Structure 1
């Protein structure tokens, strides 16, 4: 007996198998990793020449460079000393008991002098001030580089999220059109079309929100780093694992970061500078003398007087208070140095761990993305053939979108952590 129902089921089964195989191949092509012309993880960064050119237009860095010139001027002032020559002139009239009147003139030249090695200490403070200004400028450069890295990858995250949502919007529009045709043909209930349209609106709303974030991120990047082009990567390079480069990767990177750390150098320079200032103030417990020469004409020039003078103030409570304040400032600077040492070591270890963990997370989410994309494409084909409902097709597609966005975000996070590690180790964008 001819079984039309059985024959029809066999036909659909074979057709579905052929279609699913084609969908699988298409899905494999969609999720396969792209071939990169440059598979260096750092190739995703802007060119170093453009970064340096952009940094030359950043106000805080220009101000930091001016701070070095200011420190040079302060050094010259300290070498010259804050004491100046003082000229004194006097005119008087003398009257004696016999009624004689005489005009008398007096002139004196005085200047305090630094002694007991105070001039040498001032020169040392001037040199340390220049070193401090250079360390401050280097730290500003490094912090600006960190900020650029953060803003750059923020634009990349939103850009690749936009690409995923636009692709998802196109697929959701296709599913919505299929649902409308099936409802019109009487092969599906009306709620399937409503469900598909609701999902379409949801994806459009997500796309609009991401477009807004992308626009804000690009505006911030262009405003903060003038002249720097926007990221325009069509695909992402493969992240690299820190562990695969060196069996003792963590210790290697930790030593590399701590070897030349601007934040540590700045804190050390500040502590040394405050220590020199405290020592200099302590020397002022012995006041500086004022030396002078004087010449006078008395009794209308009948007598001429030439002499030498020396004066010295008596130290009071103000000097003692100033010494205590300077010593306290030096102690605060030393405490800050220890705090910075702990902070820098912790941040260095966190940067190493972050690079390692983000790579592992990306590998896991990338595998999940491939599985989700394959499942979504298979379910989409099955829905087109009427084998599954719209709910299953849209749910698997939504899961595929979430996994794709998560995988792209994890990949960008891994690239960002890898770049941050190289930045902190001064392997990229280092200050000359």
Structure 2
């Protein structure tokens, strides 16, 4: 046969990508940042916002606003006390019975410094809830991309194996016909039929894996629509903008911003605990009547708790927690910087790997075609042709997987830098 199954698949794929390349060339530069192999952006954002993790973070976001109002209002409330009694007094042998009652209202008063710290804590917790929502959206977007590229990987592998199975079936039919005409041995026909059956079985298994991955993707993200034939463009060549993406991702990572927010909140918590060593005073007023209202009593009072070792220890605990949170934020920054640097190197390496794998697949497919031609001319045994076909198939599968890996690495780096689609940024919808 003049063209191997892997070459047929490659030609079909490139032919399908020609109109896509023309369309992308006509779009604005920023629109091209969104990879064409991903689902439509509206569906991706719907899948992100519909995820239970994001909805839970949205609920907690509303709780963060309520917590801010709670801290601004303070924990102290008015308390009303009422007291009623009957007095019995004996004077010169006579017994006098009178009614007495008293009403008091009191409230602890938060010291001004504590109120300011509580307002700062409220703002920080509200901001942390907002960051948690953004982080949940970002992590969900990463999960959607991972699941989508897993499906693409299985789908493209199934396409390669289906093309190879069709090619092997046609080749087996041709060898069988030649065997009937006496131009090929019966052993060749048996070997060709066995190779065709093996290719068919591998294609069926790959179809099953692709179907299982698709079912899992649909179940997790029902908002997504899976195309019958996904279009895969060539991974863009990494350029100088990668360094900028790494720096942007480090500056805007929600997880890191959240860790820093936790450290800031712990610092203010420690200041608040230190301020609590000065207890809040309680002020109150009271009014009462004694001796059947013959006497009226009006008064005011103040009570001040005397702080002890408990408050001092609580301040020390909060101060130690603040120091630990600050170090954890630094550790998170180092860890993220290492991950982003590794991802930067993986983008470059995966692109180079795809180029080499694609070149190897093309050369091995051409070699298998030449060997098949030589076999038809009686210059090579069929066993060598079948071995060359297997090598070409393995190379085509590696090239297919390398293409998806290269696309996924670039998409994930752009997602981390909030440059995957136009308008993607802090607080944007879907991010």
TM superposition shift of 1:232: 4.2
> How big is each residue's C-alpha offset from its partner over 1:41-62, in whole Å with a ceiling of 9 and x where there is no partner?
7111222122112223211111
Number of equivalenced pairs: 407
Matches of 1:264 and 1:155, distance apart in 2: 30
2:127 counterpart of 1:131: yes
Q: 2:147 — aligned with what? A: 151
Q: 2:294 — aligned with what? A: 302
TM superposition shift of 1:186: 5.3
> How big is each residue's C-alpha offset from its partner over 1:380-403, in whole Å with a ceiling of 9 and x where there is no partner?
333334332221111111111111
Matches of 2:86 and 2:404, distance apart in 1: 90
Compared with structure 1, are the counterparts of its residues 250 and 51 closer, same or farther at alpha carbon in structure 2 (3 Å cutoff)?
closer
Say which of 91, 101, 105 aligns to 1:105.
101
User: 1:345-364 alignment to 2 at 5 Å?
Assistant: 345-364=337-356
> How big is each residue's C-alpha offset from its partner over 1:104-155, in whole Å with a ceiling of 9 and x where there is no partner?
0011101111114111111111111110011111111111111111111111
TM superposition shift of 1:325: 2.8
2:6 touches 2:392 (CA, 8 Å); kept in 1? no
Say which of 34, 52, 56 aligns to 1:59.
52
1:287 touches 1:312 (CA, 8 Å); kept in 2? yes
2:128 touches 2:261 (CA, 8 Å); kept in 1? yes
Q: 1:36 — aligned with what? A: 18
User: 1:250-329 alignment to 2 at 5 Å?
Assistant: 250-329=242-321
TM-score calculated relative to the size of structure 2: 0.88
Q: 2:138 — aligned with what? A: 142
> How big is each residue's C-alpha offset from its partner over 1:83-113, in whole Å with a ceiling of 9 and x where there is no partner?
1111110111112231211110011101111
Compared with structure 1, are the counterparts of its residues 237 and 300 closer, same or farther at alpha carbon in structure 2 (3 Å cutoff)?
same
Structure 1 runs (4+) deviating above 6 angstroms are: 24-30
> How big is each residue's C-alpha offset from its partner over 1:218-277, in whole Å with a ceiling of 9 and x where there is no partner?
12221222221114445421211113xx3xx44322222223221211111111112111
1:286 touches 1:315 (CA, 8 Å); kept in 2? yes
Q: 1:172 — aligned with what? A: 168
Matches of 2:57 and 2:6, distance apart in 1: 53
| Stretches of structure 2 lacking an aligned partner (at least 5 in a row) | 25-31
1:109 touches 1:294 (CA, 8 Å); kept in 2? yes
Matches of 1:284 and 1:412, distance apart in 2: 57
Q: 1:73 — aligned with what? A: 66
Backbone CA RMSD of aligned residues: 2.3
Matches of 1:50 and 1:353, distance apart in 2: 30
TM superposition shift of 1:426: 0.5
TM superposition shift of 1:69: 1.1
Matches of 1:136 and 1:24, distance apart in 2: 54
Matches of 2:263 and 2:142, distance apart in 1: 25
